Structure 1
Amino acid sequence: MSPAPTGRPAAPAAPDAARTVRTVLGDIAPGDLGVCDAHDHLFLRSPLLPGQELDDPAPAAAELRAFRAAGGAAVIQWTPYGMGRRAAELPRLARESGVRIVAATGLHHAAHYAPGILERLPADLAGLFVAELTEGIGGTGPRAGMIKVAGGFHGLDGHARRTLAAAAEAQRATGAVIGVHLELGTGVPDVLDLLCGDLEVPPGRVILGHLNRSPDLTAHRLAAEAGAYLAFDGPSRAHHATDWRLPEALAALADAGYGDRILLGGDTTTAGARSVNGGPGMPYLLRGHRTRLVRTLGQELVTRFLTANPARAFAADWGPRAAGT
């Protein structure tokens, strides 16, 4: 694994005062983000999830209210281009709920798109991502605040490589963080070799998602040593090795000195998983999940996972790059 570029020194990090989190209602200071669900979905549509679409604003609003009642303050929606983001709804939902929302640009696996969507993409994929980050989704909608892409199962296909390359170019142009869906939590070396090695993205601008789905403590440690953020997102899913192995994995990382790299999220991807429909949903992250982690890891560390870490991970120095300098 090549965790960092070696051809030239990395650019110095922007001062904290220059960094902001780009929400759908505008840029905010990182410290104003609050208790954050670092990976979830208010809207999502995929041919792989027929009949389970998240496409109705009313349940999305109810889910946000439930999350707010549980103590939540911010949600990062990782739904990328072409998957029913409903970006125009997000500012209203943020205002009415009092929950800060960050939207995403980027692309998922090709299998998540209905026929014709990928064929209509512009040749300049990076340009699309940059425009959504700096001008607005769809040209007039809210601006995205992160780039979401996807690795493959223990590897990278051509679609993933093209998407990751475009994400790296957009990251250099904007400073935005890149969140990577890891299929069943696998493929960390391939993603980091390409993004942080060949494409020279600073590891601290990469979030590796779904590591809870592959409870490999060695792989977690290698990813943390590379300098990336580690997202453990998707609690209470019986078909994944998640909740019951998570305290062990997080304790091992914290004991090794990587407590500042850990993010937590709910990743609600189906209508049946929403709390308003009887599933765990967004509130579970802050109720059963947080309570269980506090018992094993302590309040201070879990609070850091939910507040200081996402504030740092999603903050960027947007100004000079967005102006094209």
Structure 2
Amino acid sequence: MGAPAVRTVLGDLLGAELGVCDSHDHLFLRSPRLPGQELADAEAAERQLRELAAHGGRSLVQWTPYGMGRHAGALAELARRTGVRLVAATGLHQAVHYAEEPPSDLAALFVEELTLRVRGGICGAAPRAGLIKVAGDFHGLGPHARRTLTAAAEAHHATGAPIAVHLELGTGAAEVLGLLCERLGVPPSRVLLGHLGRCPDLQTQREAARSGAWLVFDGPSRAHHATDWRLFDSLADLAERGYGDRLLLGGDTVTAQARAEIGVAQVSRVLRPRVARELGEALARRIFVDNPAQAFAVHWKS
């Protein structure tokens, strides 16, 4: 068995090659829940990536799943043009983000996109996905969430892929971990819990950290988001308790307005320097370099 690898849109590479990483963001996205706010402009995406790189960013993980305008082929072309390492996602979001019914065999879809090619690519041949994105519900798991998480677990066991989970308003981490890890046998080290900071309950965050899952704090690209001011309190608390090696950070830019106001470069331009300044360069390196190199690198199964 070779070394763990990150599956980027241009091929597999060692985690150390990611460099400074935006661990959760979007260059392309569409949803009926966000009319008029689509991210579909490849030129704008390229400008975002070049600005990210100008401030030291070297990689970005796009969590846009199946059926939400991923533009996977465009991601590959952008990676070639800018030199920024890009990771694409398969998976399925909450049902409200889709106008049509998803394919019936979700696990087969996820495995296909992780091992062969992402469906619906443009601008050339579509690449493979490097992670599975699914979603929980507010304080629980409904039938759709249970179906998608179960399919994600099946696809993980078939491929080794990491599973990234949207936690609605930061809630439901215990239920997600109970299903994925305790019932379906996914190692916690292969689960990434997104949006945990949107429910700024330190005890909940500590319990999630104790599980061994990755804690992804994201969303600072939303100007004036109600939980932004608690981000550094959470990071400091978790680091002080010995969980600095479980933390990741991303921008989660999901609308055209967020892109115009702040954009993905916020991660490398503002957040990384602030973490280094307020919490120390060692923790900043863990959050933006060392932890992504481990979280997204797996032993891929053929």
Q: TM-score range by the shorter chain?
A: over 0.9
Contact in 2 for aligned 1:214/1:241 (Cα 8 Å): no
Contact in 2 for aligned 1:103/1:144 (Cα 8 Å): yes
Q: Select the residue among 55, 61, 64 that pairs with 2:49.
A: 64
Q: Select the residue among 285, 309, 317 that pairs with 2:267.
A: 285
Aligned length: 298
Once residues 98 and 293 of structure 1 are traced to their aligned partners in structure 2, the CA distance between those partners, rounded to angstroms, is 25
SS of the aligned residue for 1:38 comes to strand
Q: What CA deviation, in whole Å up to 9, does each residue of 1:18-57 have, x standing for no partner?
A: 2100000000011101100000001000000000000111
Partner residue in 2 for 1:315: 297
Contact in 2 for aligned 1:212/1:241 (Cα 8 Å): no
Once residues 287 and 226 of structure 2 are traced to their aligned partners in structure 1, the CA distance between those partners, rounded to angstroms, is 20
Q: Counterparts in 2 of 1:150-299, with a 5 A limit?
A: 150-238=135-223, 240-274=225-259, 277=260, 279-299=261-281
Q: Select the residue among 50, 54, 65 that pairs with 2:35.
A: 50
SS of the aligned residue for 1:131 comes to helix
Partner residue in 2 for 1:41: 26
Compute the displacement of 1:283 (Å).
Answer: 1.0
Q: What CA deviation, in whole Å up to 9, does each residue of 1:47-95 have, x standing for no partner?
A: 0000000011111111111111111100000000000001111111001
Once residues 298 and 117 of structure 1 are traced to their aligned partners in structure 2, the CA distance between those partners, rounded to angstroms, is 47
SS of the aligned residue for 1:105 comes to strand
Task: For 1:199, give the aligned amino acid.
Answer: L
Task: For 1:315, give the aligned amino acid.
Answer: A
Question: Does residue 133 of structure 2 align to residue 148 of structure 1?
Answer: yes
Q: Select the residue among 16, 26, 29 that pairs with 1:31.
A: 16
Once residues 157 and 37 of structure 1 are traced to their aligned partners in structure 2, the CA distance between those partners, rounded to angstroms, is 30
Contact in 1 for aligned 2:223/2:262 (Cα 8 Å): no
SS of the aligned residue for 2:229 comes to coil
What percent of counterpart residues are identical?
62
Contact in 1 for aligned 2:161/2:190 (Cα 8 Å): yes
Once residues 195 and 68 of structure 1 are traced to their aligned partners in structure 2, the CA distance between those partners, rounded to angstroms, is 35
Structure 2: give runs of 5+ residues left out of the alignment.
none
Compute the displacement of 1:117 (Å).
Answer: 4.0
Contact in 2 for aligned 1:215/1:241 (Cα 8 Å): no
Q: Select the residue among 284, 302, 312 that pairs with 2:284.
A: 302
Question: Does residue 137 of structure 2 align to residue 137 of structure 1?
Answer: no
Partner residue in 1 for 2:105: 124
SS of the aligned residue for 1:268 comes to coil
Compute the displacement of 1:112 (Å).
Answer: 0.5
Task: For 2:146, give the aligned amino acid.
Answer: R
Once residues 239 and 166 of structure 1 are traced to their aligned partners in structure 2, the CA distance between those partners, rounded to angstroms, is 35
Compute the displacement of 1:236 (Å).
Answer: 4.7
Once residues 294 and 59 of structure 2 are traced to their aligned partners in structure 1, the CA distance between those partners, rounded to angstroms, is 14
Once residues 224 and 315 of structure 1 are traced to their aligned partners in structure 2, the CA distance between those partners, rounded to angstroms, is 19
Q: What CA deviation, in whole Å up to 9, does each residue of 1:108-162 have, x standing for no partner?
A: 0000112x242xx1x3210110010000112851000000000001111110000
Contact in 1 for aligned 2:221/2:253 (Cα 8 Å): no
Q: TM-score, normalised by structure 2?
A: 0.96
Structure 1: give runs of 5+ residues left out of the alignment.
1-13
